[in-house]
Structure 1
Amino acid sequence: MKILLVGYGAMNKRVAQLAEENGHDIVGALSPTEENDCPYPLYDSVTTDLPEADCLIDFSHPTLTKEVLNSAITLPMVIATTGEKETLFDLFTEKAQSTPVFFSANMSYGVHIVTQLLENIAPLMDDYDIEMIEKHHNQKIDAPSGTLIKLLDAIKENARPDANEVYDRTQSTEKRDQKDIGISTLRGGSIVGEHEVLFAGHDEVISIKHSAQSKDIFARGALKVAEQLVNKQNGFYTYNNLYV
């Protein structure tokens, strides 16, 4: 499989290494900034003559992702960019008319399983308070993480449509409301990624937690998705329908 990388940050560096270890070829990287450590042909614009490829894998930034989605590129697209979700989803839908497009805020299959668990468990937990905690390394710039938003959406769409998202309690002198979903964001060190959902009831707490031990789980996930996506018809895909 010939892969075009979109962005050449930490994640796509891991994608490149694992791809080559598994017999795939990296034909180039699309990046508007100069990447001195990139061993592959660099392309600074979506309007340049890009190399022949079977798919692209995008671990970049919403700005670059939007340029790709608005371009004439029709390669199957694995999108792992987080941020500006609503804008990107509109573009996903439009682009999916001309090419297969896959998106996940977290490429870990384990996070997909946790999401499905929450979709099924949350409706059973009406009498429980919900708190969500996410932890990442000190270089992550967005908060809360795209993965936490994904998990939050699973809860709200299936059980708590009227939930109040609470990010700061320092200015409140009132008791916790049953509709509150507390969201805590931690940044420090080299934490790859941890997401925990607490269901706190009377005399018991149920915790659902996912811990990433290495960035490789996201890179491997993206490659596995790409291997499936190149054989799909045009359309918008997530983990919920990719393997159907």
Structure 2
Amino acid sequence: MKLLLVGYGAMNKRVAKLAEANGHEIVGALSPTEENDCPHPLFDSVNEGLPEADCLIDFSHPTLTKEVLTSDLNIPMVIATTGEKETLLELMDKKAETAPVFFSANMSYGVHIVTQLLETIAPLMDDYDIEMIEKHHNQKIDAPSGTLIKLLDAIKDKARPDAREVYDRSQLSEKRDKQEIGISTIRGGTIVGEHEVLFAGHDEVISVKHSAQSKDIFARGALKVAEKLVNKENGFYTYNNLGV
């Protein structure tokens, strides 16, 4: 494949390395900031006359992703940007009328499986309190992570539509309410990514946990999705309907 990268941060650098190792070509990188270590053609605007590509892979920032989604580009798009989820989903739905568009807040297939597990077991856990914990490296900007929001949405959609998220119990002086879902965020060191959902019941705790041991799992996931997406018709895709 000929791939256009949107953003050239840590994730797309890994995508580029793995892509070239597997015979794909990086035709350019779209980044509004100067990337002195980028060995590929660099473009600072979506209107700059981008090279032909079979697919683009976007690990960037909502601002840049919105520019791509509102542009005239109509090639297959793998979107892995987190933040401003509702706005981006609306724009992706529109772009999907003219291009195949895939979105996931986490490109790990393992996280997709965890999501499906939660959709299955959460409806069975009415008598359990739910606490969610996510851990990431000290350079991550957004909190909670897009992946935690993805897991939270799965629980709320399937089992707890009236749930109320609690992010800071230090501001409360009361017993835990049954509708609460506690959310804890940890930032430190070089933690790649860890997400855990605790179902705490009477004298027992059930835990569902995913630990990323390398960022390469996200890059590999994006490339695997791109290989599928280039053969798809226009439309909006996730792991649920792509057939990976």
SS of aligned partner of 1:162: coil
> What is the aligned partner in structure 2 of residue 23 from structure 1?
23
TM-score by length of 2: 0.99
* Offset from partner CA, 1:55-85 (integer Å, 9 cap, x none): 0000000000000000000110000000000
> What is the aligned partner in structure 2 of residue 93 from structure 1?
93
User: How many Å apart are 1:171 and its aligned residue?
Assistant: 1.7
Letter aligned with residue 146 of structure 2: G
* Offset from partner CA, 1:64-122 (integer Å, 9 cap, x none): 00000000001100000000000000000000000000000000000000000000000
> What is the aligned partner in structure 2 of residue 214 from structure 1?
214
Query: Percent of aligned positions with the same letter in both sequences?
Result: 84
Contiguous gaps of at least 5 residues in structure 2: none
> What is the aligned partner in structure 1 of residue 55 from structure 2?
55
User: How many Å apart are 1:230 and its aligned residue?
Assistant: 0.1
| Partner Cα separation in structure 2 for residue 39 and residue 214 of structure 1 | 23
SS of aligned partner of 1:56: strand
- Taking the TM superposition and a 5 Å limit, the aligned residue runs for 1:121-136 are 121-136=121-136
User: How many Å apart are 1:179 and its aligned residue?
Assistant: 0.5
SS of aligned partner of 1:170: helix
Contiguous gaps of at least 5 residues in structure 1: none
User: How many Å apart are 1:201 and its aligned residue?
Assistant: 0.3
SS of aligned partner of 1:78: strand
SS of aligned partner of 2:57: strand
- Taking the TM superposition and a 5 Å limit, the aligned residue runs for 1:160-239 are 160-239=160-239
User: How many Å apart are 1:224 and its aligned residue?
Assistant: 0.1
User: How many Å apart are 1:237 and its aligned residue?
Assistant: 0.2
> What is the aligned partner in structure 2 of residue 107 from structure 1?
107
> How large is the Cα RMSD of the aligned pairs?
0.6
> What is the aligned partner in structure 1 of residue 149 from structure 2?
149
* Offset from partner CA, 1:24-73 (integer Å, 9 cap, x none): 00000000111000000001101111111100000000000000000000
> What is the aligned partner in structure 2 of residue 44 from structure 1?
44
Letter aligned with residue 240 of structure 2: N
Letter aligned with residue 159 of structure 1: A
Are 1:9 and 2:9 an aligned pair?
Answer: yes
User: How many Å apart are 1:173 and its aligned residue?
Assistant: 1.1
SS of aligned partner of 1:8: coil
| Partner Cα separation in structure 2 for residue 173 and residue 42 of structure 1 | 53
Letter aligned with residue 238 of structure 1: T
| Partner Cα separation in structure 2 for residue 52 and residue 87 of structure 1 | 27
> What is the aligned partner in structure 1 of residue 77 from structure 2?
77
Q: How many residue pairs were aligned?
A: 244
4+ aligned runs moved over 4 Å, structure 1: none
| Partner Cα separation in structure 1 for residue 214 and residue 55 of structure 2 | 24
User: How many Å apart are 1:180 and its aligned residue?
Assistant: 0.5
TM-score by length of 1: 0.99
| Partner Cα separation in structure 2 for residue 114 and residue 243 of structure 1 | 17
Letter aligned with residue 110 of structure 1: G
| Partner Cα separation in structure 1 for residue 206 and residue 147 of structure 2 | 20
Letter aligned with residue 108 of structure 1: S
